[in-house]
Structure 1
Amino acid sequence: MKIYQQDIRGQTYLSHILIKQNLQNTLGGQKFIPKTYISIISIVFAVCLSIVNLLASGVLAAIHDAFDVNYFYLLEINTILLYTIALIILGVRGFQVADTICVMALIVTGFVIYVCFEANSKIFGIGFWLFCLGLSIALGWLGAIITAFFIAVSSIFNGVVGEFLAIVAYGITTEALITGGLSVLSRKNPGDGIIFLIGAIIIIFSSAIIARKAIRGSPKFSWLKETSVFWTATGGTSFYKADLTDTCFDNAHLPQTDFREANLTRTSFKNVTGLEFSRLQGTILENPRVRKLLVTKVGEKEDYTDADLKGANLTKAKLKDAILSGINALDADFSGADLSGVCIQEWNINKDTRFTNVKCSHVYLKCTKQGDRIILTERKPDSGEFKDGDFEKWITKLQDTVDVILKGSFNSRALGISLNKAAIEHKELDQSRYSVESKGDEVYVVKVGVSPEADKPAIHQTITNYYYNELSIQGERANILLNPSKEVEIMKNKNQISAGGNLDMSSGNKITVGGDVTNSNLTLADANSQVSNSIQQLRDISTDASDELANILTTLQKSIVDDSVLSESQKKEALEAVETIAEEGKKPPGERVNKLCSLALNALKGITTAVTDASKLAEVLKNCLPTLTKILGI
């Protein structure tokens, strides 16, 4: 038997400040006497409520008596079979609304038929049978849940032994009541005793299955486990709303302990036992997978996408090749942990997240799930491996962000363009590291990575200006689609659109703006990168049409970049047209703006007609155009 250094069973630390306390090898939970009292009370309640089991079996027996038979025949066999199936369904599916409605329908239908057609004639028929069957199932479910609750309580206190003894005790009690209290009825009709016995046994076995599932953490019976834990933890060790920052519980045994709403920032739970039978609401321990990670410190190749690890103590944790995408790791401690090969896409960290002496050869900035496969991309470092201490330095630089609040309908394309343009003006901006969070009511927070020396206010203003400017440009394009005649006017005046001036409305025939229709501020490399991203997103949809379209657009992209005949501005304009087709291709056919696709194809055709036959783009477009128009439905 393990000897614990400290015994805090039954102690209450309500809202106490217990920062940096050493509670290693501690025994918590219920003291022996309160535990005994609760166990006895549970048994007494179980014995008293076993009457529900008898009522369920009694209603089954009523069918046998009503039809006045001495031996089993098809009706009794079917009744017991349906009753058994109903209790099995409860054990497998848990309480489901549809199942409950079916049972209630049986009771109501049977009652109506009996009252309307059978009561006056005093002849029992289908109505009486349906009513009794539905009522017996309802009582059987109630009896099974009650019995399962007390079996779970006994199991939490005394483990498998307590669970076994509870099942045996309830079985003996029920059978004793059947044998003794109903002996007269059994002598009158021998078949009744058999039905009582079968009905009770089915309930007890169903209860044992339900209790076992609840104890093991089945989501279908989580409410039953929570109720059992509440009952057993009453009077146990309580850290309710206590501040346990940096406290160590390593190797402790803490069943029936109340941790609700406690501050568990960097609290260590290595090798702690009994937490699955404690009250953990409002803490990161509430998630079984997170709880297991904090206790074992082993999570290699596990997927923790979007897990709440806020303040988690993961010192020396083995997390090699784990997926940490989207996790909340604010104030978490990864000191000494092995983070080699992890994916950190959109994880949430801050300056108080610790990475001291982390072991890490490389990480991935993005991961894409395709069925059961996870595709990792954007490896850092791009080549080679992090040396000792390099990861901590690198991640520290990445922790600085600029938060941009965007209002209205979110436009991912406008954001991508604004980040590309802002990155050209501000070298401190890392456009590959950003996340978007919806706050509701069409309010979005975009977090963009920057270096520590960045001018955050200037970057914030630049991104905001470019984003809303791009929205305005896209709005004008949409207006052109709705009013095709305006396209001609714009094309006539295209030679009058220049870059670098101010808006001048003094002349109705001359417009001077801060950029032209080909986005002169965008480099050819940036435009090519945007097209590659759009095509990759199109491939991720994984349909035959999207794959074929992606292959065609990739061919077009390569022909544009490699075309020595095209000027740089023509290449950028052609790439923009390809990107437009890719963006529309990602949408379901019914949601595509066909006029945008047509406009993009016309732009490509216009570019090829302005150059010689030696153009690679002209040759590729000629071959791909029939298939392209067919896929796009234009």
Structure 2
Amino acid sequence: MQDFSGKNLCGRNFTGQDLRGANFSNADIRGANFSKADLSRANFTGAKAGLQKRWLFAQLVISFVLSATLNFVAAVINGAFIAYLFSEDSIRDATILPGIISIGLLATVYLAIARQGLTTRAFITIAVAVAFAGTGAVAVAFAVAGAVAFAVAVAVLSGLLSLYVVWRVSKNDEKFELARTFGVAFSSLGGTHFYNADLTGANFTNATLKSTNFRDATLTHVCWRDAKKLDRARVGNSILQHSAIRELLVEDGYGYKKSFIAANLEGANLQGVNLEAANLTRANLSNALLHCANLKAANLRETLVIEADFTGAYLTGACIEAWNIDHTTKLDRVDCQYIFLLDQPNALGSRERRPHAPDTVFAPGDFEKLYKKIINTVQILMRNGINPEAFAAGFQQLMQENPDITHDSIQSFEKKGNDVLLTLEVPEGTHKAQIAQSFELTYRDRIQQLEAENKQHLLDFKTMAMDIAKHPARITNVLTAGNQTMNDSSINIGGNVTGSTINLGEISGSVSNVVNQLPSTPDQPGLKEHLIELQAAIETEPVLSLEDKADALEEVKTLAEAAQDPQKQGLGGKAIRGLKRMIGTLPDAAKLAKACSKLLPLIAKAIGLPVP
């Protein structure tokens, strides 16, 4: 690490050099050139940047010459204009109307600049005044004023306006940002240059930065705490161009109860910053450092926090409604007792506090665990409810492509109107978009296949019905044995048909029809969703034989019927015992065994049976 601490580096050229981690603390770097240098993690604590004395003198001379030239040109123009207005011929021919118009125009221009600043709105006002000034002219006794008095008035007003603009620029009035930008750009000529330099993680604590050029520099995670005259530095299009952001990064405690709605704080160093009760709605905090920041009761609604580092931050009482978070967001050692999921109370007057009970709080580490679990999930919306056969096909394909995903990965089914939201837990680093796309593609394809099959069945039935209508038949079964008539009141025929084919699709469809008759719970998964999940687990279990799958599906159908008819609860208990015996023959690692262990107690409880 190179050490330049306390040294006089005025005018030194460091262009393009590798100065990573270099120590420039308390150094005099006025006029130094760091353009395109790598200054990541460099220490500029207490450094003095800006202009050397010779450049300061040169700027004063240039400013004086420029001011004198512009004032001379303005004086010539004003003199010619006034001489024309107050000539005997002009007064005789045009009376006093041109003078009145001139005064009106000047007054409009000065008032527009004073009230609206050097903005587009002010220029529009001036343009409108020029276009319509003649319509408001009122004949007054103007002749008594005279040309000299008029010229003096113009000069005085121009001087006062100039002083007013300078005063507002010094107060960082955004209405005069155009003038401030020009002034800062001019003053940075010959100053310290960090143009296009990499200052990632650099420290400018207590540094003096007047007349410093940071244009196009990388300023990610730079510490600006207590930096002096940063508002006089040339910062280009960085986050420092806004005065509120500069003050937040420089002044300790500035963020308390302040509004930063839609503010760009990407890559900002906000370590230890007080943002208690601050409004950060829709702000961009991606890649920001928030170590030990105070975010108590802060509003983080719709805030972008991708790659943000909240290590050790205080988040108690914060609102995190719809904040944008992913696995790159760091929540290590976050101090949070409770949070709110809604900015405004819902119809029940609740802001969805977590934990729900007002007298309970998160234990240390609970918030991190909860939201890491939420981060590592994929949510898939199935339109118009779940099609069990299509779900089984889609989930089977998903498990084949991703061995880490099992039936235990299913976190919940949530009813969303006519749709169902599936939440899956996935390993950290999983490509979530690919997971969702793979499932949805197989799911849609299977639904289309089923719709095509149903259309074909309907066509077959229609053809059969038309054939029967054309050729009515009468079938009479007469059983005789000699002269003896068979008068048995009942005939029991038993047998064992071997070699028959089990149509699992028809059985599954029959089960789905019964299950779909159950009511759906609007806010959380209920019996219907549990039975659908169990049905899918049975159909996708590779260890289970075709006959066993058929038997297991019949048990699911029995459970659905038991839920609809309390008199069949005995059959429901028998079905659960049958399923438990079946999974007892499977290896412990079998997916169906794990699914049944989770689902059977929930199903039994929902039906009103003893929990196995």
Match of 1:205 among 153, 160, 167: 160
Please say if 1:86 is aligned against 2:109: yes
Q: Alignment partner for residue 291 of structure 1, among 220, 234, 246?
A: 246
Q: How far 1:79 moved relative to its partner?
A: 4.4
1:45 Cα offset (Å)? 0.5
Q: How far does residue 329 in structure 1 lie from its aligned partner after superposition?
A: 3.0
In structure 2, do the counterparts of structure 1 residues 47 and 106 end up closer, same or farther at CA, with 3 Å as the change threshold? Answer: farther
Shift, 1:402, TM fit: 4.4
Deviation string 1:74-94 (CA, Å, 9 cap, x unpaired) is: 985674354213321133233
What is the CA–CA distance in structure 2 between the aligned matches of 1:292 and 1:399, rounded to whole Å? 33
User: In the alignment, which of 505, 520, 541 is matched to residue 516 of structure 2?
Assistant: 520
Deviations 1:5-61 (A, max 9, x none): 222222222222222222222222223321232132112211210135435643356
The equivalent of 1:358 in structure 2 is 334
Work out which of the residue numbers 381, 391, 407 in structure 1 matches 2:355.
381
Q: Give 1:378's aligned amino acid.
A: E
Q: Distance in 2 between matches of 1:85 and 1:413?
A: 63
The question of 1:34 aligning with 2:10 is answered no
Inter-CA distance 313–325: structure 2 relative to 1 (3 Å threshold): same
Contact 1:314 1:334 (C-alpha < 8 Å) held by counterparts: yes
Q: 1:357/1:102 Cα in 2 relative to 1: closer, same or farther (>3 Å)?
A: same
Write the deviation string for residues 585-606 of structure 1: whole angstroms up to 9, x where unpaired: xxxxxxxxxxxxxxxxxxxxxx
1:63 maps to 85
- What is the alpha-carbon distance in structure 1 between the residues aligned to residue 189 and residue 436 of structure 2? 52
1:397 aligns with 2:397: no
The answer to whether the aligner puts 1:95 opposite 2:71 as a matched pair is no
* Other structure's SS at 1:80 match: helix
* C-alpha contact (below 8 Å) 2:195/2:215 kept by paired residues: yes
For 1:237 and 1:332, the matched residues in 2 are separated by: 31
Could you tell me which amino acid in structure 1 is paired with residue 374 of structure 2?
L
Contact 1:429 1:451 in 2 (8 A): no
Distance 1:415 1:264 in 2: 49
Question: Cα distance 1:528–1:340, how it changes in 2: closer, same or farther (>3 A)?
Answer: closer
2:296 is the counterpart of 1:300: no
* Partner of residue 508, structure 1: 459
> Which residue number in structure 2 is paired with residue 194 of structure 1?
149
Query: For structure 1, which runs of at least 5 residues remain unmatched after alignment?
Result: 111-125, 131-188, 405-411, 435-445, 474-498, 530-566, 570-634
The 10-residue stretch of structure 1 (193-202 or 215-224) with the greater mean CA deviation from structure 2: 215-224
What is the rounded CA distance, in whole Å, between the counterparts of 1:417 and 1:221 in structure 2? 60
Distance 1:255 1:416 in 2: 63
Q: How far is 1:257 from its partner? A: 2.3
1:266 pairs with 194, 207, 221, which one?
221
Report how far residue 461 of structure 1 moved: 4.1
Structure 1 counterpart of 2:114, which letter?
A: G
Please state if 1:22 is matched with 2:31. no
Secondary structure at the aligned position of 2:160 is classed as helix
- In proportion to residue count, which structure has more helix? 1
Letter in 2 for 1:520: N
In 2 relative to 1, CA 190–80 (structure 1 residues): closer, same or farther, beyond 3 Å? closer
Once the 2 structures are TM-superposed, how far is the Cα of residue 269 of structure 1 from its aligned partner? Answer: 1.8
Verify the 8 A CA contact 2:108 2:126 in the aligned structure 1: no
What is the letter of the counterpart of residue 98 of structure 1?
A: I
1:62 deviates by 3.9
Distance 1:509 1:426 in 2: 41
CA–CA separation in structure 1 for the residues paired with 2:308 and 2:455? 55
2:70 corresponds to which of 36, 49, 52: 49
Asked if the contact 2:194/2:214 (under 8 Å) is kept, the reply is yes
* Aligned counterparts of 1:81 and 1:206: Cα–Cα separation in 2: 16
Structure 1 residue 301 displacement after superposition = 1.7
d(CA) in 2 for partners of 1:467 and 1:390? 36
2:278 matched to 1:314? Answer: no
Structure 1 residues 455 and 46, CA, compared in 2 at 3 Å: closer, same or farther?
A: closer
Correspondence 1:477-626 to 2 at 5 A: 503=454, 505-508=456-459, 520=516, 524-526=520-522
Tell me: CA distance 1:449–1:241, structure 2 relative to 1, closer, same or farther (3 Å).
farther
Judge which range, 191-200 or 57-66, deviates more: 57-66
- For residue 186 of structure 2, the aligned residue among 221, 227, 231 is 231
**Amino acid in the other structure paired with 1:95:** T
Q: Which residue of structure 2 aligns with residue 593 of structure 1?
A: none
Distance of 1:25 and 1:246 partners within structure 2: 16
Counterpart Cα distance in 2 of 1:195 and 1:448 = 78
The higher-RCO structure (CA 8 Å, 6+ apart) is 1
Which position in structure 1 is the counterpart of 2:10? none
- Shift of the alpha carbon at 1:322? 1.7
Take 1:102 and 1:333, find their aligned partners in 2: how far apart are those partners?
A: 51
Distance 1:518 1:469 in 2: 24
What are the residue-to-residue correspondences of 1:58-457 with 2, within 5 Å? Answer: 58=79, 59-60=81-82, 62-65=84-87, 67-68=90-91, 76=99, 79-93=102-116, 94-96=119-121, 98-103=124-129, 105=131, 191-295=146-250, 296=252, 297-368=273-344, 377-383=351-357, 384-400=360-376, 402=378, 414=383, 428=410, 450=425, 452=427
- Taking the aligned partners of 2:69 and 2:424, their CA distance within structure 1 comes to 64
> What is the CA-CA distance between 1:245 and the residue it aligns to?
2.4
Give the C-alpha shift of residue 509 in structure 1: 7.0
Match of 1:582 in 2: none
Alpha-carbon deviation of 1:256? 2.5
> Take 1:467 and 1:527, find their aligned partners in 2: how far apart are those partners?
24
Distance 2:74 2:151 in 1: 9
**Share of identical aligned residues, percent?**
25
Q: Shift of residue 416 of structure 1?
A: 10
Letter in 1 for 2:312: G
Give me the whole-angstrom Cα distance separating, in 1, the residues matched to 2:245 and 2:189: 25
Shift of 1:233: 1.6
Kindly tell me: are residues 286 and 68 of structure 1, through their superposed partners in 2, closer, same or farther at Cα, counting changes over 3 Å? closer
Residue 367 of structure 1 aligns to a residue in which SS? coil
CA offsets 1:298-346 (integer angstroms, 9 cap, x no match): 3222222222333333333222222223333333333333222222334
Kindly provide the CA deviation profile for residues 366-391 of structure 1, in whole angstroms up to 9, marking residues without a partner as x.
Answer: 33599xxxx98333333422333333
Asked if 2 retains the 8 angstrom alpha-carbon contact of 1:365 and 1:379, the reply is yes
The alpha carbon displacement at 1:359 in A equals 2.7
TM-score, with structure 1 as normaliser: 0.52
Q: TM-score, normalised by structure 2?
A: 0.53
Whether the aligned pair in 2 keeps the contact of 1:61 and 1:196 (CA below 8 Å) is: no
Write the distance in 1 (CA, Å) between the matches of 2:514 and 2:166.
Answer: 67
1: distance between equivalents of 2:206 and 2:163?
31
Stretches of structure 2 lacking an aligned partner (at least 5 in a row) = 1-5, 7-24, 139-143, 253-272, 396-405, 463-505, 526-562, 566-612
* 1:204-232 Cα deviation digits (max 9, x unpaired): 22233334444444444333322222111
Distance 1:103 1:301, change over 3 A: same
Is the 8 Å Cα contact of residues 298 and 318 (structure 1) preserved in structure 2? yes
Contact kept, 8 Å, 1:524 with 1:568, in 2: the verdict is no
